[in-house]
Amino acid sequence: MKVSIIGATGYTGSELLRILFSHPEVEIANITSESQTGGNITDAYPHLAGCYDKKLTSMKDLSQFTDSQAVFIGLPHGHAMSIGKQLADQGIKVIDLGADYRFRDESVYEAWYKVPHTHLNSGAVYGLTELYREQIRAASIVGNAGCYTTASILALAPLAKYHLIDMKNIVVDAKSGVSGAGRGLSLNTHFTEMSENLKAYNIGGHRHTPEIEQALQELAGQEAIISFTPHLIPMARGILSTCYATLKEGVTPEAIDQAFYEMYGQEYFIRLLGRGGYPATKHTRGSNFCDLGWHIDTRTNRVVVVSAIDNLVKGAAGQAVQNFNVMFGLNETSGLKQVALYP
């Protein structure tokens, strides 16, 4: 099967190349970059030397994708809609790693992202595999779930689905490695400023908030309101999401346990560390696993769920490949059975 990558020089693009290199059924057709058109991908990413030797094209030439069965898009939000529509119209399946296709209600997208949505009624399916697998199987366009959102939704989904918590009183305190901020330069992500440093940002206003709320609402069948705070951590990869929710009256610890095991017991990529378990981001680094542990605090009547993922894998490129596998009826773990790189 031939696939292409639009926007290959961002971190999600290079991570797709890393993962697809081990995918037994995939061949890379074209990879694009508007800023480095004509250059070789190994100039942008020397670590790919010996594995890839491929020129970057411009995405503007649509004809290059005709023999691709799927196209992964790794562009800033607002830029995938247009090309996504053209590709879908040609019958090419699209997995967009940005935000354009993540919202069922495009007005939510427009409110948080401040751009008009130009591909309404696209039929796009939200790409959080474990929750939307059946719809993804039939989808033409998948809006791959975001990094913070994947970690946070997977942590809270069983509690929402089985109606165990107050949906109006949820706090999600999430921490991300710096690769989440991308490859663009900024003082915030300058090594000397960020090493041995730690800070929050975008409190109450981060765009992953409505994504988390959308998924939890659909699971719970009622409105969900969360306080979401992202933080930058002095490491390259990994997200840890610490999620606080108030237990409904009468909910027992056993009921909590059961919800997690019922929902995820058969999921290859979700590792349940159990009640009292402590995920660590490094245990997932480079892998597509999401680790979950949960804690009942009887003093405060809260459940605290902690989830860990690699933001570039389960939070981006890995889940994109997982969705791709589902869309094409391949083994869901193809290309993704890698042990985490530890230590």
CA distance 209 to 227: 8
Is 114 one of the binding residues for a second copy (CB under 8 A)?
no
Measured distance CA(284)–CA(341) in Å, rounded = 8
Rule CB under 8 A: choose which of 90, 222, 225, 274 binds a second copy: 225
Residue 261 CB coordination number (10 Å):
13
**Nearer of residues 75 and 226 to a second copy, judged by Cβ:** 226
Give the nearer residue to a second copy in terms of CB position, either 51 or 115.
Answer: 51
Question: Which residues lie below 8 Å from residue 139, measured CB to CB, with a gap of 6+?
Answer: 93, 123, 124, 125, 327
Single residue of 236, 252, 274, 331 touching a second copy by CB under 8 A: 236
Whether 147 sits among the annotated catalytic residues: the reply is yes
Q: Which residue has the tokens 């680790």?
A: 291
* Least spacing, CB of residue 155 vs a second copy, in Å: 12
Site for a second copy in 135-194 (CB under 8 A): 169, 171, 173, 175, 177-179, 181, 183, 185-187, 189-194
Least Å distance between CB 2 and a second copy?
Answer: 19
Name which of residues 39 to 58 contact a second copy (CB under 8 A).
45-51
Closest approach of a second copy to the CB of residue 343, in Å: 4
Q: Which stretch binds a second copy (CB under 8 A): 29-37, 153-161, 321-329, 334-342?
A: 334-342
**Exposure b/e, 280-318, CB count within 10 A at least 16 = b:** ebbbbbbbbbbbbbbbbeeeeebbbbbbbbbbbbbbbbb
**Around 333, how many Cα atoms within 13 Å sit in the side-chain half-sphere?**
9
- What is the smallest separation between the CB atom of 125 and a second copy, expressed in angstroms? 26
CB 196 within 8 A of CB 163: no
How do beta strands 239-247 and 302-309 pair?
A: antiparallel
Q: Does 237 bind a second copy (CB under 8 A)?
A: yes
- Residues in 10-29 that interact with a second copy by CB under 8 A: 11, 14, 17-18, 21-22
Q: Please tell me whether residue 297 binds a second copy under the rule CB under 8 A.
A: yes
Torsion, Cα 88 94 99 101, to 10 degrees, reads 50
Q: Which two tokens stand for residue 139?
A: 């989808």
Say whether residue 195 binds a second copy (CB under 8 A): yes
Residue 285 to residues 47, 155, 240, Cα–Cα distance (Å): 17, 18, 12
Q: Tell me the one-letter amino acid at 33.
A: S
CB of 113 to a second copy, least distance (A): 16
Q: Does 214 bind a second copy (CB under 8 A)?
A: no
Residues 247-276 that bind a second copy (CB under 8 A): 268-269, 271, 273
Q: Token pair of 276, please?
A: 């009292």
Residue 8 interacting with a second copy (CB under 8 A): no
Would you count residue 226 as binding a second copy (CB under 8 A)?
Answer: yes
CB of 144 to a second copy, least distance (A): 20
Separation of CA 96 from chain center: 11
Active site residue ranges? 147
